[in-house]
Homo-oligomer: A and B are copies of this chain.
Amino acid sequence: MKRKPVITLLSDFGLKDPYVAEMKAVILSICPEASIVDISHEVNKYDKRIGAYMLARAAPLFPKGTIHVAVVDPEVGTKRKPIIITTKHHLYVGPDNGLLILSAEKEGIGKVYEITNKNYMLRNISRTFHGRDIFSPAAAYLALGISASDFGPEISEIIKPSFSQPKVRGQEVLGEVLHVDKFGNIVTNISSEHLKRIGVKEEETLTIMLKNSKIAMKWCSSYSEVPIGTPLLIEGSGGFLEVAVNQGDASKLLGAKSGDKIVLRVQE
């Protein structure tokens, strides 16, 4: 028996306006069998970095074959390309602006196609709402079984913003703050894998440079491994390394916010 296709939606549209419902209407009109799940529509307006982070947390958990539509799209109506990214497990649909990359790279990017085939768009394309007019129909046709390669030409270059690419350089990893959560935890774009590549192991102490601070921190597997009020490094439930404070607020202590540069370095 064929599984019912799952389509997820992420955007900065909010839930007050009927925009998300319009996307669902378009999807169900093309593929009535689709099961649609919202990831979040409360991404801060135009904040691709946080959108990318939320997508990268939730998307990989969905069943094999899930189609993820993400629309944080400040350049809608310009020449930025609408794309489909294939990975081993999933399909990603959205603007070529870095929003999809963090999640797709976690799974391993297969091929990337530009969406140009007008047979798979709404008849009238508005200048401002490609989520409804291009991305939703694309997802629905993918759910019907149309191959990603039928939507347009394969492309080799896609936008890779800084938040998708921590750099390993000698004994340090250079990254960025993706998000500060409601507990003040500082979520970075760096994974355990990066630390292992510079030879740091869990339970070891390393040097963190963030804003004007340079602090030694233990790479812990639980908050309580350090005294109350002490900063630590820990892998968050989304798979990214986070700077936290045991029973405290790391963001207040260190003054960090989304977009800040961060360096993790072998202890001196």
Chain A residues with a Cβ under 8 A of chain B: 3-4, 6, 8, 10, 15-18, 21-22, 24-26, 28-29, 32-33, 35-42, 54-55, 57-59, 61-63, 126-129, 132, 181-182, 222, 237
Contacts and interface: CB of A to CB of B under 8 A. Distances in A.
A185 to B, nearest CB: 10
Given A15-B42, A33-B4, A40-B16, A28 B128 contact: no
Contact of A54 (B17, B33, B63, B127): B17
A38 B48 CA distance: 25
A42 B63 CA distance: 26
11 contacts: A15-B40, A16-B40, A18-B40, A21-B38, A22-B57, A22-B58, A25-B62, A28-B62, A128-B237, A129-B237, A132-B237
Assembly stoichiometry (copies): 3
Contacts of A29: 61-63
B35 A28 contact: yes
Contacts of A58: 18, 21-22, 25
Given A3-B32, A6-B28, 11 more contacts: A17-B40, A17-B181, A21-B39, A21-B40, A22-B57, A25-B63, A28-B35, A28-B37, A28-B62, A36-B37, A132-B237
Contact of A61 (B15, B26, B181): B26
Nearest to A30: B63
Contacts of A35: 28, 32
Nearest to A44: B16
